Structure 1
Amino acid sequence: MADFVKGSSTLGTPFGVNEYLRSTKDVKKESYTVAASTIPTVPITDNGVTYNQKILDRGVVMAKITSGPEAGKVGPYSIDTSGVTDGRSTAANIVGLNDTFLPWQLLDRDVEIAVTYECTAVQAWCKEYKADLTTQAVSNATATAMLSKGVNIHFH
């Protein structure tokens, strides 16, 4: 006879793939290497145990790193112009939106990702980093800067 046993009453921290595209028509991408050192760790709880994890979600604004040991790679664009000095807080260095979901790989190494540079996206579903290393929806200023830089992302 089949039966059901309820699992732990301690729920885990929910996370998963973020959908950011409004349409999959005429989406263009380019390959980059993301610097693992630019992704902050976040606490993830599973069955009452907390782990520090590096999670790079889809739809995060990515920018080129122009100075320091990670120069030539990309990392999350930061609206904090005082704390980030490697070029990731300069709007002119924005290359597009991350399209590769990495739930743990960045704990070990730098990883190649796909970055969308032309698409139709939902602005509220896309993310940028704040000074405290948390994310927020892409601001109007960042969306405008992306278009003026030549990243052809139309937000809805």
Structure 2
Amino acid sequence: MPRLVVVLPVEPLRVGERFTVAEWPLHVTVLPPFLTDAAPGDIIHAIRAAVLGRESLTVVAGEDALFGRRHNIPVTLMLPHDGLTGLHRTLVAALRPFAAEPDERACTGSGFRAHVTHKPPARLHPGAHVTLTQLALVDMLPRAHTSGRTVLATHAFSAPRTVS
């Protein structure tokens, strides 16, 4: 049974790209991992339908914090951003029906705290502006034939409209 996660990579990813936990590219997790019996194609279709027409998001890095059960995982929190929170809520609504066992941790709602985990030497520094141009669906479970996490699909956001 796949364990999937939806992320906004800081640098675009490619379908089929693989990486270990230690090599995760910098990203904002917009929907935490969830188990599903659904076919990845159904999940991808639901994601694309839910985010159709959305524009890239420019977000700002805030302060550093520690996450995890033992509060030992260094992250940079993202400053509150209505578009990012709205995207999270949209994806929760679109993908909750596909979750094998709905997990409230994966559907954090008002508890959503957008952040980027430090992956030394890479990290975001407070005050950094980041434009998130892509959404990626990643299979979290390593398979016998892979070396780690696998990018199953990506979706590019449209460029922000400029007002002249």
TM-score normalised according to structure 1 size: 0.26
- Using the size of structure 2 for normalisation, the TM-score is 0.25
Larger radius of gyration: 1
Going by fraction, where is helix more abundant, 1 or 2?
2
Q: Which has the higher contact order (CA 8 A, sep 6+)?
A: 2
